[in-house]
Amino acid sequence: MTDDLPGFKREIFDAQVAVFETGDAGEAAYVIESGCVEVLVGAQDAQRRVAVLAEGAMFGEVALLDHQPRTATVRTLVPTRLVRIDRTHVEELLQRSDPVIQYLLRLLLERFRNSSGRSVGDEDSAAHAKTAQAHDPQDLHAAAVRTLSLAHDLSNAIDSDQLELFYQPIIALPAQTLSGFEALVRWHHPSMGLISPLEFIPLAEKTGLIHRIGQWVLHRAIGDWETLKSSLGPQVEDGFVAVNLSAPELCNINIVDIVRSALSAQNMPTQALRIELTETTVIANMGTVSHILEQLRAMGVGIALDDFGTGYAGLDYLQQLPFSCLKIDMRFVMQMHSSQRSYQIIKSALELSRRLELKSIAEGVEDACTASLLAQMGCAYGQGFHFARPMPLRDVASWAASFGNPGPG
C-alpha cells in the first residue's frame, strides 16, 4: 500500500483466520488498527483462550528482538486490519542505537522471557542458544559497561586535566610549507589509556558534556596559538588553527559570543581561527546554522566543510552557507591511485572549490605520490600521516624545524 512506512506494512485478515500459530517463526509484531483477535495457548487439540485484544493493542512483540518460535496462536475474531512491524527493520534501528540501549533492551527481554515461564529445558533451548550467540551478549555487555563507565568518567576528565589537544600540521601545496594546524582532542583515561575522540565525542554529544569539552578545546587551541604561530615561519601570513565543532555546539545560541570573547582574550586575529563542520552537522541544522555561520564569517573566522563527499547530501547548502574552505574526505584521497572513481570525485571537488572560490584541503595524505598528484591537480593544502601525525604541542616546534620551518628564532 502506498501509505505504508518503510518497515511497517498493513495486512487485512478475514474473521477466524490465524495470523500466526504456535511454533511459527517469529518475524514480526503486529498492532491492531481495527477489529480484534484472540490469543490461544496449548496443544492443537486443547487450545485455551488467554486473551482477546482489540484496536490499539500490540502482539507478537517478543519476535522483534528475538528469533524465537511463537509460543501462542493468534486468530482474528472479526475482519481485522493489522500493521505489521518487521523484526529486520527494528534490528536495523537497534543496531544504529548505542550499546547501552541495545544491552538494556536485551536484558529486559531476557527477564520478560524468564518471568513468562520459558524454561531452559524446552524445545526452543537450542534455538535460544544460537540466538544468544548471534547477539553476542558478552560483547554487548562489555560494550555497554565500557560506555557507561566512560560516560561517567568523562564528566571528570576536564577538571582532572585528562584532556589534551594534539595538533596535526596542514601543508600548502605544491610549495610544501607548513601553513596551519588542526586541533584534535585526546583523552588520557587514568586506567583505560588513550581514548579516541571517535569514541568519546559521540558520548559527550549524547550526555551534553560536549558543550564543556567544546569550550575547553576552543580556549586551549586559541591559547596555544602564539606557540603554534611561531612554528609557522615568518613567510606565512595566513596561518591558522582549525577546531572541530559538533552539532550541539554549533546550535548553542551563545557560540558567536563565546568565540569572539575567547579570541579577544588572547588577542588572536579572527582570520587565524578556522571552524570545521561536517556536512551532516550543517544539513541536520540548516536553519540555526546558517545564521550563526554568517556571523562567524563576518567576524573573519574561516569555516571549513569537513569530510566533504560523505554526507550523502545535495550541494544546495554550499550556496546557502558561507564556507571558506572544503576538506576532501580521506576515503577518496586514500583510494585515488587505486580507484578511478575516487580520482574523478577529487577532481570534481577541486573544480567545485575553485569555482566557488573555496580553499581546498585533502585529508589522509599518506605518501609522497599522493601529495604530488594532489599538488598537480591544484589542491591548495594537504594533511596526513605522510607529513605528520597529530602531535602534542610540545613536539610541534621541533617537528616544524625538521620539516623546514625553523620559525623566527
Verify binding: residue 244, Ca ion, rule CB under 5 A.
yes
Interaction of residue 306 with ligand C2E, rule CB under 6 A = yes
* Residues 264-303 close enough to bind ligand C2E by CB under 6 A: 276
Q: Residues 244, 281, 353, 370: which binds ligand C2E (CB under 6 A)?
A: 244
Peptide bond into 269 cis (omega under 30): no
- Select the residue interacting with ligand C2E from 63, 82, 185, 250 (CB under 6 A): 185
Phi, psi at 202, each rounded to 5°: -60, -35
* Binding-site member from 85, 144, 178, 201 for ligand C2E (CB under 6 A): 201
CB 275 within 8 Å of CB 255: no
Q: Which of 259, 307, 350, 371 binds ligand C2E (CB under 6 A)?
A: 307
Query: Segment 281-340, which members bind Ca ion (CB under 5 A)?
Result: 306-307
Residue 197 in the binding site for ligand C2E (CB under 6 A)? yes
Q: Least Å distance between CB 327 and Ca ion? A: 6
Q: Return the number of the residue (185 or 268) whose C-beta is nearest ligand C2E.
A: 185
Residues 12/80, Cβ–Cβ less than 8 Å? yes
Q: Does 198 bind ligand C2E (CB under 6 A)?
A: yes
* CA torsion angle 74 79 80 86 (round to 10): 70
Nearest to ligand C2E of 272, 365 (CB atom): 365
Report the alpha-carbon distance of residue 187 to residue 198 in Å, rounded. Answer: 11
201 touches, from ligand C2E, Ca ion, none (C-beta below 5 to 8 Å by class): ligand C2E
Stretch that binds ligand C2E, among 100-108, 244-252, 256-264, 316-324 (CB under 6 A): 244-252
Give, as ranges, the residues between 8 and 47 that touch ligand C2E (CB under 6 A).
Answer: none
Residues 372 and 77: their CA atoms lie apart, in Å, by 74
b/e for 111-138, b at 16 or more Cβ within 10 A? eebeeeebeeeeebeeebeeeeeebebe
164 makes contact with ligand C2E (CB under 6 A): no
Tell me the per-residue interface mask from 205 to 234 with ligand C2E, x by CB under 6 A, - otherwise.
------------x-----------------
Quick check: 82 and 10 in contact, CB under 8 A?
yes
Please report how close the Cβ of residue 198 comes to ligand C2E at its closest, in angstroms. 5
β-bridge partners, 170: 180
The residue within the footprint of ligand C2E, chosen from 184, 259, 262, 362 (CB under 6 A), is 184
Q: Is residue 150 a contact point for ligand C2E (CB under 6 A)?
A: no
**Would you put residue 281 in left (φ > 0), alpha (ψ -120 to 50) or beta?**
alpha
Binding of ligand C2E by 124 (CB under 6 A): no
How far apart are the C-alpha atoms of 317 and 283, rounded to whole Å? 7
Strands (E), 162-210: 163-172, 177-189, 193-195
Considering the complex, what minimum distance in angstroms separates the CB of residue 310 from Ca ion? 9
Residues 348-377 contacting ligand C2E, CB under 6 A: 363-366
Q: Which residues are CB-contacts of 86 (< 8 A; sequence separation ≥ 6)?
A: 7, 8, 9, 27, 28
Report the distance separating Cα 61 and Cα 46, nearest Å. Answer: 24
- How far, in Å, CA of 354 to CA of 286, rounded? 24
List of E strands, 24-68: 28-34, 36-41, 48-54, 58-59
184: partner contacted, choices Ca ion, ligand C2E, none (Cβ within 5-8 A by kind): ligand C2E
* Residues at the site binding Ca ion, with contacts judged by CB under 5 A: 244, 276, 306-307, 363
Binding interface with ligand C2E (CB under 6 A)? 168, 184-185, 196-198, 201, 217, 244-246, 276, 306-307, 330, 363-366, 383-385, 390
